[in-house]
């Protein structure tokens, strides 16, 4: 992503975070991660991440999504003798469409761009509005999308090893576009 597009994306994600009314420091905005998952299509498949803590035992993050932006389908496998990441998502602002393994929901709310339709295979829909939360057990296929206004989602989990995530779409790389 070129410098101008990167700066625009950074400002757009900061605006989403500020809409949430959660207080962030300038340092958090400067160190936030933006990722396009190696696809070069940030506004369709991408995510802004502020990491509060990630120790050997626990992790806490804020995730920001633009309108209908997708965090792609993935699973957190067991690594280095652990059973895989367990995580709880709590919607703080906007609306989140979360999809997990299970009975497929008819007429899902997500809007998947046509070029990406074959890159998802779990459609059990959980809609999270501010104050709603959902806990994923380790080794659960999932993906999520911001609603019409976008969304801010808190993630509380066991240790996060993002580089070890397995994505359904084999073209994806879990890399940051840039750290600020």
**pLDDT at residue 176 in the model:** 55
Q: Is 80 helix (H, G, I), strand (E, B) or coil?
A: coil
Domains of the chain: 3-179 (2.60.120.10)
Kindly report, residue by residue over 104-153, the tens digit of the pLDDT: 999 999 999 999 999 999 999 999 999 999 999 999 999 999 999 999 99
Which pairs count as long-range contacts for 18-26, CB under 8 Å and 24+ apart, including other chains? 19/93, 19/94, 19/149, 19/150, 19/152, 20/92, 20/93, 20/94, 20/152, 21/93, 22/62, 22/92, 22/93, 22/152, 24/50, 24/62
């Amino acid at each position: 992503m070129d410098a101008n597009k990167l700066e625009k994306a950074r400002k757009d994600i900061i605006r989403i975070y500020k809409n949430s009314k959660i207080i962030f420091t300038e340092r958090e905005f400067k160190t936030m991660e933006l990722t396009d998952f190696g696809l070069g299509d940030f506004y369709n498949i991408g995510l802004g991440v502020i990491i509060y803590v990630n120790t050997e035992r626990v992790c806490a993050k804020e995730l920001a999504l633009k309108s209908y932006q997708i965090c792609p389908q993935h699973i957190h496998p067991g690594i280095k003798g652990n059973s895989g990441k367990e995580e709880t998502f709590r919607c703080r602002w906007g609306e989140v469409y979360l999809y997990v393994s299970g009975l497929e929901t008819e007429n899902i709310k997500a809007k998947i761009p046509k070029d990406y339709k074959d890159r998802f295979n779990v459609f059990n829909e959980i809609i999270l509005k501010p104050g709603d939360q959902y806990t994923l057990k380790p080794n659960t296929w999932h993906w999520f999308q911001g609603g019409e206004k976008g969304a801010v989602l808190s993630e509380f989990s066991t240790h996060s090893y993002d580089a070890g995530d397995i994505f359904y779409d084999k073209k994806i790389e879990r890399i940051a576009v840039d750290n600020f």
